[in-house]
Amino acid sequence: MRVARPSKTALVFLGFFSILSLFLIPRGTNAQTAGPHVVITWHAGQSYVPPGYVGKALPGGSSLISASLEILSGGKPADLSGLPIYWYLNDDLVANGIGKQSISFTSLNPGQIMQLRVQIPNYPSGEIIKTILIPVVNPKAVIVAPYPLNSFPASPAHLTVLPYFFSILSPASLSFSWTVNGTPENIPENPSEADIAIPQGTPSGSVIPVSIDVTNPLDSTVASASLSLTYAQ
């Protein structure tokens, strides 16, 4: 009897779910299927991201971070009000108390990854230990040029800079310093946007380097970005 072999599509499909299952299998303390589900959520205050950004606002240096704990048992929130809860940041005890399900703390230096751990030694089904990682980043700036391959056909070229992860509530508190072709540009009205005018007689194919420094005057943090435009008349 000839045995039918699975198709390439079926093999890829099975392989995908085999890999996916590695990430779905619970690991660590209290990882049994029927055990409690431990969730730590966190939020970085005053970490600005542009409208439409769907990722998480990451903390910068000295950002205030709020974290909270929830344990689901049988699909319902567990009552932790009578249990001692211990919070550790990079193995240092930063807070503890009976029923202490939330804390606030200040982030460390940018470029580091903080380990936030919670421990409940007297949980009814056994000790709870849960660790999450929180990255600390420098602020970022991205120049948006709405032109394919940064090649624009007519003067002026309109550019916008988007700031990320500054410790601000509004980009209006930032300062913007544009440089075009090595020359600083003064843009007083809406400095987060720039119209790059091309002098008459500029040959097609000319490359115009553009850069910007975005500064938060409140804490002196700076983010820089650059790109090269091509004038393709």
Shared-domain flag, residues 92 and 121 = yes
Cα–Cα distance for residue pair 11/8, rounded to 1 Å: 5
Q: What is the pLDDT of residue 72?
A: 95
Shared-domain flag, residues 49 and 79 = yes
Between 3-12, 77-86, 153-162, 198-207, the lowest mean confidence (pLDDT) is in: 3-12
Q: b or e along 21-32 (b: 16 or more beta carbons within 10 Å of the residue's beta carbon)?
A: eeeeeeeebbee
**Final residue of a domain: which of 105, 135, 165?**
135
**Residue range 192-201: average pLDDT?**
88
Shared-domain flag, residues 208 and 221 = yes
Give the list of residues 6+ apart from residue 34 with CB closer than 8 angstroms, or none. Answer: none
Kindly report the CATH number assigned to the domain that includes residue 200.
Answer: 2.60.40.10
The predicted-structure confidence for 101-153, as pLDDT tens digits, reads as follows 999 999 888 889 999 999 999 999 999 999 999 999 999 999 999 999 999 99
**Final residue of a domain: which of 113, 135, 157?**
135
* pTM (global) more than 0.85: no
Kindly report the CATH number assigned to the domain that includes residue 55.
Answer: 2.60.40
Shared-domain flag, residues 89 and 122 = yes
Shared-domain flag, residues 96 and 110 = yes
Q: What is the pLDDT of residue 34?
A: 59
Residue 121 domain-assigned (yes or no): yes
The total number of structural domains in the chain stands at: 2
Q: What is the pLDDT of residue 32?
A: 40
**Final residue of a domain: which of 100, 135, 170?**
135
Residue 3 domain-assigned (yes or no): no
Confidence of residue 194 (pLDDT cuts 50, 70, 90): very high
Shared-domain flag, residues 95 and 50 = yes
Residue 19 domain-assigned (yes or no): no
Shared-domain flag, residues 90 and 170 = no
Shared-domain flag, residues 40 and 67 = yes
**Averaged confidence pLDDT in the chain:** 85
Shared-domain flag, residues 41 and 111 = yes
Shared-domain flag, residues 162 and 221 = yes
Instruction: Look at the alpha carbons of 27, 30, 33, 36 in this order and tell me if their dihedral is positive or negative.
Output: negative
The predicted-structure confidence for 4-61, as pLDDT tens digits, reads as follows 344 333 333 334 333 333 333 344 444 344 579 999 999 998 899 999 999 999 998 8
Q: What is the pLDDT of residue 42?
A: 97
Q: Is 4 exposed, middle or buried (0-12, 13-18, 19+ CB in 10 A)?
A: exposed
Residue 218 domain-assigned (yes or no): yes
Cα–Cα distance for residue pair 164/171, rounded to 1 Å: 9
Where in the sequence is the domain holding 115, given as residue range(s)?
29-135
Place of tokens 């409690």: 36
Q: Work out the number of other CB atoms within 10 angstroms of the CB of residue 96.
A: 14
Shared-domain flag, residues 121 and 147 = no
pLDDT surpasses 80 at 161:
yes
Q: Where are the beta strands (DSSP E) in 37-192?
A: 37-44, 64-73, 76-77, 84-89, 92-98, 102-106, 113-120, 128-135, 140-144, 151-152, 157-164, 175-180, 183-185
Cα–Cα distance for residue pair 138/47, rounded to 1 Å: 11
DSSP code per residue over 174-211 = SEEEEEETTEEE---S-TTEEEEPPPTTPPTTEEEEEE
Shared-domain flag, residues 34 and 131 = yes
Higher-pLDDT residue of 4 and 218 is 218
* Selection from 159, 166, 152, 154 nearest residue 229 by Cα: 152
Give the list of residues 6+ apart from residue 2 with CB closer than 8 angstroms, or none. Answer: none
Q: What is the pLDDT of residue 24?
A: 38
Residue 57 domain-assigned (yes or no): yes
For 98, 114, 131, 224, the CA distances from 67, given in Å and listed in that order, are 16, 13, 12, 30
- The answer to whether the bond into 217 is cis (omega within 30° of 0) is no
CB 142 within 8 A of CB 160: no
Q: What kind and span of H or E run contains 12? A: helix 8-24
Residue 78 domain-assigned (yes or no): yes
Residue 92 domain-assigned (yes or no): yes
Residue 63 domain-assigned (yes or no): yes
**Residue range 154-177: average pLDDT?**
93
Q: What is the pLDDT of residue 14?
A: 33
